[in-house]
Chains A and B, each alone.
Chain A
Amino acid sequence: QKEVEQNSGPLSVPEGAIASLNCTYSDRGSQSFFWYRQYSGKSPELIMSIYSNGDKEDGRFTAQLNKASQYVSLLIRDSQPSDSATYLCAVSLMDSSYKLIFGSGTRLLVRP
């Protein structure tokens, strides 16, 4: 059973702080990793993808990948109340068929 684990939260941070969201996965052969943001009542929106070990930065967002530890994280700098949402980690399966396995999501609350 391939799994993606996330802390459900809520993770509460003050406005302007760094929010750190974490995800672990069980399929050692996974090649592609994604972070989606989902506002209440809306569909998931892709915010970051990462394929290689290390960091990938895009604006206020940084994705970090460590394949040896089977760990992927998302850092949000200068958090804003508009960042309050559920963040879903998604991981590809090595056997592909181009399927993604989603974690249960971490709810982030940014306090003004």
Chain B
Amino acid sequence: SAVISQKPSRDICQRGTSLTIQCQVDSQVTMMFWYRQQPGQSLTLIATANQGSEATYESGFVIDKFPISRPNLTFSTLTVSNMSPEDSSIYLCSVAAFRTSGKLGTDTQYFGPGTRLTVL
């Protein structure tokens, strides 16, 4: 498995501001993902971040609100822009580690420790 770190671990922000969350992996990975977990809810995929290409956003999430960078194979950032209290969530990055069988599939995702964001 990969060792994943996220910064910051938590933050309290004011409405209308932006926060950039960093995700660092100890090995090169092709695919990184950003999830949101609202209080008491399960994980919702925000976007897939691939190195060298634009992030792919899921329905309900847009680049203007959640811009993502993926400058290399070990690092990604997610920015939560123009925040409102509804953005209060845990934000998680994950990386995919593939099996060697060559069989197409999602394969194993490992999660970072998360960033707990509170917007006042």
Contacts and interface: CB of A to CB of B under 8 A. Distances in A.
A12 B30 CA distance: 40
A46 B112 CA distance: 12
A18 to B, nearest CB: 24
Given A31-B106, A34-B108, A97-B56, 14 more contacts: A42-B114, A43-B92, A43-B111, A46-B110, A88-B42, A90-B109, A92-B107, A96-B104, A96-B106, A98-B31, A98-B48, A98-B96, A99-B45, A100-B109
A31 B31 CA distance: 18
A46 B106 CA distance: 14
B105 A104 contact: no
Contacts, number: 61
Given A103-B42, A104-B41, A32 B107 contact: yes
Interface size on B, as a range, is 20 to 34
Nearest to B116: A41
A96 B31 CA distance: 12
| 3 closest Cβ pairs, A-B complex | A92-B106, A32-B105, A31-B105
Nearest to A36: B111
Most B C-beta atoms less than 10 A away, residue of A43, A93, A97: A43
Interface string B1-27: 100000000000000000000000000
Nearest to B56: A97
Interface string A98-112: 111011110000000
Nearest to B112: A43
B43 interface: yes
Nearest to A98: B106
B67 interface: no
A92 B109 CA distance: 11
Given A43-B92, A43-B111, A43-B112, A93 B43 contact: no
